[in-house]
Structure 1
């Protein structure tokens, strides 16, 4: 299944609308949870869209958004690093890192390589040398984390659980 990929470095109203629609579909079983609700996601999305290095990739097929991925650049001063459960190795934040904030693919496109194509397209022209993401290690009975491992990610830290989120595994890999 081929999808057409569109890159956005600003969150236009049309891209925002499309992303919210596909997010609601992808995360439908979780929307009742506070951290996954559509308003909570929209608030995070708007905040991240204002951050340095914001980029969104939308994958389209036959007029339907099949999936998405977006991220931002994080440097040593970014609050992202304060969420880590363990101290970071010396020098780890000396250069900016791409934080993959969210990735999702609608059910008909799962297992087709669409998520990987969207992911790789997001990373293709990034200036950062590394990309990091957070994943619930229990999601899909561990299948989601294993998928990221098959893409070259390795777990290097964790984010402690909060009232709105379970403990998350923090993973990293080179962008290329």
Structure 2
């Protein structure tokens, strides 16, 4: 499987549709939960696409979208930091940080290194020193968090982004 990676800083209707298609497939087992519904994700996506430093990497195998990762730059005043459950370590928010808002890969491409390629490609052109993301510690019976740990992320806090969301582990690493 050869996956071509495409970068997007603007969310065109075609790109948005491809991303929603992959999201619906990746999150299919969770779509019955309010926070995971496609329309709820689409609302978040539309908001995220207008935030500073937005960037999306979509993978394609031929014409088939296979996976994605996207994020944006956050500063000290961003609500991302304000929703943490524990006080932040001194200096953590002194410089801009890339927050990965979503990452997902369709089942046929899992275990092929596609997720890591998409992730690394998203980080490659960034100027932020650090990158953070959230993970449901129960996802894949803890396997998803273990993958992020293998990629160099360390848990440092937690948050529950919305009342319908599970409690998530906040992880961070140097870019």
TM-score, normalised by the number of residues in structure 1: 0.97
Cα drift, residue 167 of structure 1: 1.1
Q: For 1:120-135, what aligned pairs fall within 5 Å after superposition?
A: 120-135=120-135
Partner of 1:158: 158
The change in CA–CA distance for 1:127 and 1:60 in structure 2 (over 3 A counts) is same
Partner of 2:28: 28
Aligned residue pair count: 175
Matches of 1:42 and 1:160, distance apart in 2: 19
Listed one character per residue, the Cα deviations across residues 53-93 of structure 1 (whole Å, up to 9, x for unaligned) are 00000000021001000001000011111110101111110
Matches of 2:167 and 2:5, distance apart in 1: 32
Matches of 2:66 and 2:21, distance apart in 1: 11
Tell me the secondary structure at the aligned position of residue 85 of structure 2: coil
Q: For 1:1-176, what aligned pairs fall within 5 Å after superposition?
A: 1-160=1-160, 162-175=162-175
Matches of 2:53 and 2:93, distance apart in 1: 16
Matches of 1:2 and 1:148, distance apart in 2: 23
Matches of 2:37 and 2:160, distance apart in 1: 20
The change in CA–CA distance for 1:8 and 1:161 in structure 2 (over 3 A counts) is closer
Cα drift, residue 160 of structure 1: 3.9
The change in CA–CA distance for 1:51 and 1:162 in structure 2 (over 3 A counts) is closer
After TM superposition, what 4+ stretches of structure 1 lie above 2 angstroms from structure 2? 160-163
Matches of 1:150 and 1:41, distance apart in 2: 27
Matches of 1:114 and 1:72, distance apart in 2: 21
Cα drift, residue 99 of structure 1: 0.4
Cα drift, residue 162 of structure 1: 4.9
| Unpaired stretches in structure 2, ≥5 consecutive residues | none
Tell me the secondary structure at the aligned position of residue 146 of structure 2: helix
Tell me the secondary structure at the aligned position of residue 158 of structure 1: strand
RMSD of aligned C-alpha atoms?
A: 0.9
In 1, are the aligned partners of 2:71 and 2:100 still within 8 Å (CA)?
yes
